[in-house]
Chain A
Amino acid sequence: MRKNKLLLLLLLTILLLSACAGTSESSSPQYKIYLISKSTSTEFWRSVFAGANAAKAEYNVDLIIRGPETEENYLGQNMYIQEAVNNHADAIVFSAISYMENAPAIDAAAKAGLKIIVIDSDVNSSNVSARIGTDNIQAGRITASAALASEEEHISVGIVNFAQVSRNGEEREIGLREELEKDPRVEQIYTVNTVTDHDAAREGAVSLLEEYPEINVLIGLNEPLGVGVAEASEALDLSGRVRVISFDSNIRCIDLLRSGDVSALIVQNPYAMGYLGVETAWKVLEGQSFRPDQLIDTATSIITKENMFTVEGQKALFSFG
């Protein structure tokens, strides 16, 4: 009886040892990660993709980038989510066009076992593993501080925001209005919602300016809208009379910032969103857990004509290679 026990013990040890030797050889599998963006045409998103590709190389993941042409096509996004499920992806790095309308597709994907990482714009789902991006309320407040950084005694603000109910646009406006309303100089705040296209935004801004000529601060709350408002100001030759504040580092806006047509750019860190999105997806797949209720904040900065060519300004505005 005792001999049997001894034999068993020895066999077990050998098994354990061989198991150890076996596992030490194996490495983690190559994960398939989908990045579904709101658009593929803006510099903001190209920068996101660049960051995602950097993480793809570093973590050796199979990265597939999908996104609709315009930032209204949430149905297209839902289709890509379905595609990710059908192609047995492991995770989706997702930026929602619609806070509500994208939620069922995301929930379905999560049910199919995919990990969901939200970047830039949130979705109404409890199945999100981590959230990464700009603290949009805070970005709105920063925008307000840029809007108010003038000597004017009477301020009327015109805001051009997305037509689609996207969470980041909403939050930016909340933060923005909250700060603006604190300032006694602010008399009126007008908002116009347009599709996120610089032509539409320009038209919206022009009609807003024509309707309310007292507007002396004009704000576009994302990259195409920012370009649109800058173009509107340029077209109506309002430079010097209207403070234009745009979002993100579109090259048009940079030139207009340089020429003085745009007063400030609120620059997010899209490269970081892309990189951290894929990196976090990988980490979640490797078993790490994050708190989805705590946003992983990528920095936001105000760039003006004064600081745009400082070392920090260059780093924020111009992507490297």
Chain B
Amino acid sequence: MKKSGVRMSSLLLLSILTIVILVLVSAVLLFSRTYQQQLILTARTNSLRTVTQVSSTVNEYLSEISTVMQTLEEELSDAEEQRSDFFDVFLRIRPDVVAVSTYDAAGRLSHCYSSLGEPTGALSDSVNLSLDMERLRSEPEGYVSAPHVVTFFPDVYPWVITTVSQIERGTGERWIALDISCSNIANYISDSGIGRRGYCYLMDTDGNIVYHPQQQLIYSELKSEDTALTAALEDGSHVEGNVIYAIRTLSNGQWRLVGVSFLQEVLTESLRQLGTVLLLLAGLVLLAALVVSVVLSATLSHPLRDLESAMEAFEADADGFRYAPPRSGVREVRHLSASFHELVLKVQQLMKTVRDEEINLRKTELRALQAQINPHFLYNTLDSISWMCEQGKNAEAVEMVNALARLFRISISRGHELIPIRSELQHAESYLEIQAHRYKNQFTWAIDAEEPCLDYLCHKITLQPIIENAIYHGINGLVDDGEIRVSVREEGNDILFTVEDNGSGMTDEQIAAIMQKEQSDRAGIGIKNVNDRLQIYFGSAYGIRIESRPDEGTTVSIRMPKVQKEAEYEKK
């Protein structure tokens, strides 16, 4: 439950986002596909519509031209005089007509009428691009030419398209050719844009370009049109790669109008708009997700995290933990917090009960132990006294008996749990006296107590188990003279007892064993009992510490607080 795992709000947010994005993306894919197809269809329709419009205008122009041709043919039957007058007027009202020329059966120029002047150029080198005799051999009825320059005049070479027609009721003249300025057709076609970059151009059925809005660019070979492709296409709209071609054949049957527009342009323009909307939408969704996450975190995961850290705090320190359940928030979390609060109170109550019971149990146990006398000790002591009496060492025997009596008196202490340190030291002294006799003065001992300490209270039989341990484990079996030194001194608010010996010492394992083992082999109080008692009453900061070096001796220190009255201690 530390920092691993995913946080709930993140998880929720993530799942919302995933779902939204999935839905959005699939919707976009689906929509854009249909949209794209729709767009292409619309573009094709638009393209075809424009081309149809332009082609009908050009058709009108062409029919106008054929009407003009008929008028001109009729006019040719007039006399020379009338003809020139007519052409003067005609050329003035039709500025798009560059020249009208007539030819005999051999293709020689008979007459030429033009606002540009007299036809001298064609006569000088007999180059005339306005009449294609070769073509007339296969199409004797007439034709409409590809663009070419007019070669009749020096100094001027305008680009024209020539309509050639056979003269029915001839007067020796066989053909009439009408040169029409390309710029007129240009007016119809150049302005007919399709979309932003699309345009129309005019070609003949073989795919030769008749007019293109960028004719000069094509002539300069800076642009090209794939006329081989468009010539092969039927009328109607076609999508070839990235380009939409809309094609209409004109009424003269020789020309075809091609509308060129670019799919890319149509699509990118529309898809960009779509993209903008989608991006905006995605932004809104993200914003919404942000708001949701903030709300979720405030209402759910934040209080839950508070609860979690409260639990951690409770785990760390069950005793000192205080919990105030939140008063606001989601109902579930509030219930959870209230339940937790209940739980905390119950656990703390239970803990208190258990501790109290433990203390009572220990007290009873210790009282029972303190009341016991080690039978071996008593038996050995009495045996020693009896032996002294037999030897006539009455004075020593008396001393021994006194010591024993003192020992027991202090042990009993009229049922008090705590006794003055002074008495405890007497108790220790008596015990040492007896043991010194028993061990035939194998060791010396000294008690050194600071005067102010003596009136404080301590547990009875605190020192005796330690001294007993020093004799049994330290002095016993020592060849040299043993020495046991007991001291009591103040240290701040604490009393520090130490029992030092210069015996054989203990290993760390032995120390651990002594500190843990219940006194089972012998009756009476063991070191562990002493330590337990101190810690139960005064807390873990107090108790016994053993320092020992093999062959150098052992120092046992007992730390306890200064206690002045028994009541003070009973309270704890």
Docked Cα-Cα span, A267 to B329, in Å, equals 90
Docked Cα-Cα span, A311 to B159, in Å, equals 12
Complex contact B157–A254 (CB within 8 A)? yes
Interface positions, chain A 222-270, Cβ under 8 Å from B, are 251, 254-255, 258-259, 269
One of A24, A311, A320 near B275 (C-beta < 8 A):
A24
Residues of B within 8 A of A93 (CB): none
Complex contact A2–B222 (CB within 8 A)? no
Interface positions, chain B 121-169, Cβ under 8 Å from A, are 121, 124-125, 127, 129, 146-149, 151, 154-157, 159
Complex contact A318–B10 (CB within 8 A)? no
One of A3, A21, A276 near B276 (C-beta < 8 A):
A21
Taken residue by residue from 206 to 237, chain B's Cβ proximity to chain A (1 for < 8 Å, 0 otherwise) reads as: 00000000111101111000000000000000
* B297 on the A face (CB < 8 A): yes
* B279 on the A face (CB < 8 A): yes
Complex contact B159–A299 (CB within 8 A)? no
Q: How far is the CB of B220 from chain A (nearest CB, A)?
A: 4
Q: Which residue of A lies closest to B281 (CB)?
A: A17
For A, the interface residue count at a CB cutoff of 8 angstroms equals 40
Complex contact A309–B282 (CB within 8 A)? no
Complex contact A275–B217 (CB within 8 A)? yes
The stretch that binds B, out of A6-14, A153-161, A167-175, A206-214, is A6-14
One of B148, B221, B290 near A7 (C-beta < 8 A):
B290
Complex contact B289–A314 (CB within 8 A)? no
Complex contact A20–B182 (CB within 8 A)? no
Q: How far is the CB of A241 from chain B (nearest CB, A)?
A: 20
Complex contact A2–B10 (CB within 8 A)? yes
Residues of A within 8 A of B464 (CB): none
* B13 on the A face (CB < 8 A): yes
One of A20, A21, A271 near B220 (C-beta < 8 A):
A271
* B286 on the A face (CB < 8 A): yes
Q: Which residue of B lies closest to A308 (CB)?
A: B127
Decide yes or no: A13 and B297 within 8 Å by CB, A258-B124, A320-B219 being known contacts: no
* B101 on the A face (CB < 8 A): no
One of B151, B159, B297 near A309 (C-beta < 8 A):
B151
* B9 on the A face (CB < 8 A): yes
Q: Which residue of B lies closest to A314 (CB)?
A: B149
One of A251, A276, A316 near B155 (C-beta < 8 A):
A251
One of B9, B154, B220 near A272 (C-beta < 8 A):
B220
* A289 on the B face (CB < 8 A): no
Complex contact A54–B297 (CB within 8 A)? no
Taken residue by residue from 3 to 14, chain B's Cβ proximity to chain A (1 for < 8 Å, 0 otherwise) reads as: 000010110010
Complex contact B286–A10 (CB within 8 A)? yes
Complex contact A321–B182 (CB within 8 A)? yes
Complex contact A321–B186 (CB within 8 A)? yes
Complex contact B127–A309 (CB within 8 A)? yes
Q: How far is the CB of A257 from chain B (nearest CB, A)?
A: 10
Main secondary structure of the interface of B (DSSP, over half): helix
Q: How far is the CB of B316 from chain A (nearest CB, A)?
A: 22
Q: How far is the CB of B120 from chain A (nearest CB, A)?
A: 10
Residues of B within 8 A of A2 (CB): 7, 10
Complex contact B125–A54 (CB within 8 A)? no
* A315 on the B face (CB < 8 A): yes
Residues of B within 8 A of A281 (CB): none
Docked Cα-Cα span, A276 to B148, in Å, equals 25
* A67 on the B face (CB < 8 A): no
One of A6, A18, A271, A316 near B293 (C-beta < 8 A):
A6
Complex contact B186–A54 (CB within 8 A)? no
Residues of A within 8 A of B124 (CB): 258-259
Complex contact A276–B154 (CB within 8 A)? no
Complex contact B286–A14 (CB within 8 A)? yes
* A151 on the B face (CB < 8 A): no
Docked Cα-Cα span, A172 to B441, in Å, equals 138
Q: Which residue of B lies closest to A11 (CB)?
A: B290
Docked Cα-Cα span, A11 to B289, in Å, equals 11
Decide yes or no: A3 and B217 within 8 Å by CB, A10-B289, A13-B286, A14-B286 being known contacts: no
Residues of A within 8 A of B286 (CB): 10, 13-14, 17
Complex contact A315–B219 (CB within 8 A)? yes
Complex contact A54–B282 (CB within 8 A)? no
Residues of B within 8 A of A17 (CB): 279-280, 282-283, 286
One of A7, A10, A317, A321 near B215 (C-beta < 8 A):
A321
Complex contact A258–B125 (CB within 8 A)? yes
Docked Cα-Cα span, A54 to B220, in Å, equals 12
Q: How far is the CB of B124 from chain A (nearest CB, A)?
A: 7
* A25 on the B face (CB < 8 A): yes
Docked Cα-Cα span, A298 to B182, in Å, equals 26
Docked Cα-Cα span, A55 to B277, in Å, equals 34
Complex contact B282–A50 (CB within 8 A)? no
Residues of A within 8 A of B205 (CB): none
Docked Cα-Cα span, A223 to B146, in Å, equals 29
Taken residue by residue from 269 to 289, chain B's Cβ proximity to chain A (1 for < 8 Å, 0 otherwise) reads as: 000100110011011001101
Interface positions, chain A 10-36, Cβ under 8 Å from B, are 10-11, 13-14, 17-18, 20-21, 24-25
Q: How far is the CB of B136 from chain A (nearest CB, A)?
A: 18
Decide yes or no: A54 and B217 within 8 Å by CB, A309-B127, A321-B183, A321-B186 being known contacts: yes
Interface positions, chain B 345-369, Cβ under 8 Å from A, are none
* A188 on the B face (CB < 8 A): no
Q: Which residue of B lies closest to A260 (CB)?
A: B125
Complex contact A54–B216 (CB within 8 A)? yes
One of B127, B159, B217 near A318 (C-beta < 8 A):
B159
Decide yes or no: A320 and B215 within 8 Å by CB, A14-B283, A255-B155 being known contacts: yes
Q: Which 5 A-B pairs have the closest CB atoms?
A: A315-B219, A272-B220, A320-B216, A320-B215, A21-B279
**9 CB-based A-B contacts, threshold 8 Å:** A2-B7, A2-B10, A11-B290, A254-B157, A276-B222, A317-B149, A318-B149, A319-B216, A320-B219
